[in-house]
């Protein structure tokens, strides 16, 4: 059994359960099977008020929202930390999480690392101003929304109209939350299939506040 710096623990097993006790920064916290399952299977760490988001889809967003509301119930003022490393996902689920973040009474501090692409940059930018962090070598990408439609003409026309409205909504949100306007974001998305940018660009354009280089 291994112990990290500043931690102590004991592992016991029975036929059905196990537990380990760690002490982080002088605070005791029991890590049991439920914690382990929630953390590694769903990216939810209620005890430390952390949510880890990869693919942005109905399943991951549903779990993130449930975890955030549970954390808010536990302490409505203490920040929640949302860690994002994502290639993106569906616009519906991204907007669902964005909207829920606006309803929480506790601030959400956001962190981007690895990749923050497609639907993910808006969620980074939706964090508490002054607490939106990016890893120095994180890669960002923004693009126009794409969809494939099949069916009768009227159905396809309705779907295209809806997709265009969603795209405008998304671009308006980016413009509201950054220091670039609608036309700027819209032009970048139309220039090429994928518009890549850096962590420094994200900070300069108002999607994030600072480079994340914390050590303790």
Catalytic residue among 86, 118, 178, 189: 118
Catalytic residue selected from 42, 85, 131, 143: 143
Cβ atoms of 128 and 81 closer than 8 Å? no
The C-alpha atoms of residue 13 and residue 25 are separated, in whole angstroms, by 26
Active site residue 143: yes
| Annotated catalytic residue 137 | no
Backbone angles phi, psi at 151, to 5 degrees: 130, -165
Which residues are the active-site residues?
Answer: 118, 143
């Amino acid at each position: 059994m291994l112990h990290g710096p500043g931690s102590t623990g004991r592992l016991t097993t029975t036929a059905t359960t196990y537990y380990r006790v760690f002490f982080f920064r002088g605070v005791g916290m029991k890590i049991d099977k439920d914690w382990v399952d929630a953390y590694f299977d769903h990216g939810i760490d209620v005890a430390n008020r952390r949510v880890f988001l990869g693919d942005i889809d109905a399943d991951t967003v549903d779990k993130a929202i449930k975890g955030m509301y549970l954390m808010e119930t536990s302490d409505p003022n203490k920040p929640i930390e949302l860690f994002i490393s994502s290639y993106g996902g569906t616009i519906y689920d991204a907007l669902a999480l964005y909207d829920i973040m606006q309803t929480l009474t506790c601030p959400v501090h956001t962190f981007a690392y690895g990749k923050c692409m497609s639907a993910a940059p808006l969620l980074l930018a939706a964090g508490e101003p002054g607490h939106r962090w990016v890893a120095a070598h994180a890669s960002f990408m923004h693009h126009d929304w794409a969809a494939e439609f099949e069916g009768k003409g009227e159905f396809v026309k309705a779907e295209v109209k809806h997709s265009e409205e969603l795209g405008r909504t998304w671009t308006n949100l980016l413009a509201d939350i950054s220091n670039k306007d609608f036309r700027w974001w819209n032009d970048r998305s139309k220039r090429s299939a994928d518009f890549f940018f850096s962590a420094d660009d994200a900070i300069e354009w108002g999607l994030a506040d600072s480079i994340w280089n914390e050590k303790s």
